[in-house]
Chain A
Amino acid sequence: MLALVLVALVISALAGSPAESQTPLDDRVREIAAGLRCPVCQNLSVADSPSEMAQQMRAVVRERLEAGQSRQEVEAYFLSKYGDWILLAPRRRGFNLVLWIGPFAGAALGLLVAAYFVRRWAGRRAAVRPGAPDPALLERVRSEAAADAGPVPPEVFASLPPLERERARLYEALRELAFDRRAGKLSSEDYEAMRADYEARAAQALLDVEAGQARERAGDRRRARGEEPATGTAPVGARRPRPLRTALAGGFVLAFGVAIGVFLTQAIRPRASSMDSMTGDFLTGTGPGGVSPTLSFQGNALERDLEEGRAAFDRGDFRMAADHFKRVLAVEADHPLALSSLALILARGGHAEAAQQAVERALARAPDHSFALWVNGLVLYEARRDYAGAIRAWEALLEQPLAPEDARTVTEMLADARRRLDSGAMAAAPSVPVPVRSAGDSRRVVGAVVLGDSLRAAGSPAGTLFVIARRGGGPPLAVKRIVSPQFPVQFSLGPEDVMVQGGEFRGEVTLLARLKRDGRAGPASPGDLEGVAERNPVPVGTTGVRITLETVR
């Protein structure tokens, strides 16, 4: 029999369970680890998780068990480090008992309620029994049931009116009953009792059906005589004009059409940045800038946004900070503090142009704003190498009342800027790079990186430039990082840029320049620019090396 085959298969499957080649320690480690939650791939246990952290945690469990700790002690250890969260099933105490008891209580309650209702219904049913029907009717029922050619197909069944459906259902039940009797599933007494019951009800159903049909025919006759209106058809006649409705419908269609037009044009407007979205980045922005899920409707949102923006900036969450500042600007267009903070974020992100514009707007609005002056100087100094401009901005800043530490910082930066100005770094780089053909330092490689012709038209791209020197085909020997380069940009690679500790910067190197849009070191991503030196390999000590950025990844 099928059952025995199944059992045999199961036994053979389980026969494989061996006498233990598994140490009890492994078992215990696994048991405890199966109750801990992996902090990395959440929702897997430490036992199941393939992550490195889980492996380390398993090792910790094993160590502690070997040192003689009990399961409770090991779990207590993890609880003291991660809190209740680390256990995959909450401890059975306090509020958590609600979780453990709830389902069982619910199930038990449900079963009891169900049993109660069943009892009640069964009791009520016993009290109501149809009287013995007319024998002739009974004969009709029996013959009709006998003539039943089989179960009614569901589609036909569904299309029957309710009374006939009931009749069909009862005939079906009688048929099943007879079959079950044949199959030996019912004893004679049971069969007789139930058959009588069903036949009585079928008789009643027959009567109901006939009564219903009689009513239908009467209704039809009345309708044919015009006494009752036909169902479902509207009076045919002149339609009254409904100006109000027409106007409303027209207005609705118009409004919707306009809405569609507006949304459509918005949708096909290309996004300028990933934070910009169709309905504006306030409510439904779908970019990674996203929106804070906390809703708050308190007043003075401006102050709060400023505060939160500064807080986010200090934390290092620049996206969040930019969001907050943008929100401030949405309310007050030229808020100097928000503009300058935004400018700083933009400058750090490599968008020197936009930063410049923002801070100039801020200064236009409030020429004496100290933070704006500070940021102005920073932007000029860092992003645009305009040391003279930075010096001007910071000198103006020093005339404002400042806190002593801030004044000190500004003075230091001023001194630095003056130094650089004096050392001859040109503020506005020439359009054609002048190779410095002086007797250079024999331990350095000096040159310039320019944009290729095809790329020059697009203007100065944003990002971070890496000049990479390799020896042969190996890993980078030395890398120079230049933030927000203004092309053409000079570079000077020397021993201080060597990557490998103790490596020497000499011999022949292959030079590669790569502009990374995301500003991070690493392999090129789509959109990055690359170029190699004109005459690779270059011996260390060469000056006037020229690297042209030509390829777009």
Chain B
Amino acid sequence: MWRRLVLFVVVAVPFLSLLGYGFTRDAKEIPSPLIARAAPPFTLPRFDDGAIALESQRGKVVFLNFWASWCVPCRAEAPALERAWLGYRDRGVVFVGVNIQDKDEDARAFLREFRITYPNVRDDAGKAAIDYGVWGIPETFIIDRDGRITYKHVGALGRATITAKIEEALRGVVSASEGRGEYGATR
């Protein structure tokens, strides 16, 4: 009998512990393989005229933010982003917003409402979003001067995180972990 009991416990307990382990994990998050790798290049049309190509920003730190007008956490973080842009624009940092899965009028209204002054581009076909492995919204990538992704943040950003991570990128330091804030799902 003891042998059978031990056998049973040896099977049952690890299974239950595995389920318990599940509580410490977020089932919905997808870790990104892009950290510390070269940022995928893109050339996308701007809302004002022209286009932005990522390569042209080489030598500057790029703060890349994927957003949409229907996304509520994007609205929460927009003022912080604009303020950070105003603070960093003279320090070799460029903010680029990428609008995905959205209508032109709605996106423009969003930009006007929050008085965004940093350049924004449109990704109608979603290719850039897929290139960056975007699955939540908003998502932010910080790319250092050599074109390497140093940080990825899924969800709304606060001022302190923005500052800290941009400073890290300016020094060329790759972040140890991804960041998480309130986010929604893409459509």
Q: Do any beta carbons of A and B sit within 8 angstroms of each other in the complex?
A: yes
Q: Which residues of A contact B (CB under 8 A)?
A: 39-40, 42, 51-53, 56-57, 59-60, 79-83, 85-86, 293-294, 310, 313-317, 319, 499, 501, 520-521
Which one of A51, A81, A293, A499 has the greatest number of beta carbons of chain B within 10 Å?
A: A81
A305 to B160, CA, bound (A): 17
Within 8 A of A (CB), among B124-139: 125-127, 129-133, 135
The interface residues of chain A, by DSSP majority, are classed as helix
The CA-CA distance from A319 to B73 in the complex, in Å, is: 13
* In contact, B32 and A313 (Cβ under 8 angstroms): no
Q: Which 7 A-B pairs have the closest CB atoms?
A: A314-B160, A56-B126, A316-B156, A39-B135, A81-B133, A314-B158, A316-B158
Query: Which of chain B's residues have a CB closer than 8 A to the CB of A51?
Result: 186-187
CB-based nearest A residue for B72: A520
Among B2-10, B75-83, B91-99, the stretch that binds chain A is B75-83
Cβ contact of A60, chosen from B33, B127, B133, B157, cutoff 8 A: B127
Chain A residues lying within 8 Å of B80, measured Cβ to Cβ, are 316
* CB-based contact A82/B125 at 8 Å: no
B→A interface (CB under 8 Å): 23-24, 28, 30-34, 72-73, 75-77, 80, 101, 108-109, 112-113, 125-127, 129-133, 135, 155-161, 179-182, 185-187
A80 vs B131: C-alpha distance in the bound complex, in angstroms? Answer: 9
Name A81's contact: one of B34, B72, B160 (CB within 8 Å): B34
| Option from A42, A83, A294, A317 in Cβ contact (under 8 Å) with B32 | A83
Q: How far is the CA of A317 from the CA of B34 in the complex (A)?
A: 24
Chain A residues, CB < 8 A from B23:
293-294
- In the bound complex, residues from chain A placing their C-beta under 8 Å from that of B160 are 310, 313-314
Chain B residues near A499: list those with CB within 8 A: 109, 112-113
Tell me if B31 and A83 are in contact (CB < 8 A). yes
Contact pick for B33, options A81, A294, A310, A315, CB 8 Å? A81
Query: Which residues of chain B come closer than 8 Å to A314, judged between CB atoms?
Result: 158-161
Which of A39, A42, A313, A316 interacts with B76 by CB under 8 Å?
A: A316
- Cβ B130 vs Cβ A81 within 8 A: yes
Report how far A317 CA is from B183 CA in the complex, Å.
10
Contacts of B155 in A (CB 8 A): 315-317
The CA-CA distance from A82 to B129 in the complex, in Å, is: 11
Closest to B132 in A: A81
Whether the pair B158, A315 counts as a contact (CB closer than 8 A) is yes
Complex Cα distance, B34 from A466, in Å, reads 42
**What residues of B have a CB within 8 angstroms of the CB of A60 in the complex?**
126-127, 130
CB distance from A85 to the nearest CB of B (A): 5
What are 21 A-to-B residue pairs whose CB atoms are below 8 Å? Answer: A40-B185, A40-B187, A51-B186, A52-B101, A52-B186, A56-B130, A57-B130, A59-B126, A81-B34, A81-B133, A83-B32, A85-B31, A294-B24, A313-B160, A314-B158, A314-B159, A315-B155, A316-B76, A316-B77, A317-B180, A501-B112
CB <8 Å contact, A39 and B125: no
How long is the Cα–Cα vector from A85 to B26 in the complex, in angstroms?
A: 14
B69 to chain A, nearest CB (A): 11
A293 nearest CB neighbor, chain B only: B23
What residues of chain A lie closer than 8 Å to B30, measured between beta carbons?
A: 39, 82-83, 85-86
| Alpha-carbon gap, A197 to B130, bound state (A) | 73
A290 to B127, CA, bound (A): 36
Task: Kindly provide the distance from the CB of B163 to the nearest chain A CB, expressed in whole angstroms.
Answer: 9
Nearest B residue to A313, CB-CB: B158
Q: Which residue of B lies closest to A81 (CB)?
A: B133
Nearest residue, chain A, Cβ from B101 = A52
CA distance A86 to B31 in the complex (A): 11
- Roughly how many angstroms separate A60 CA and B125 CA in the complex, as a whole number? 9
* Complex Cα spacing A86 to B28, Å: 12
By the criterion CB–CB under 8 Å, are B126 and A521 in contact?
no
Residues on the B chain within 8 Å of A81, using CB: 33-34, 130-133
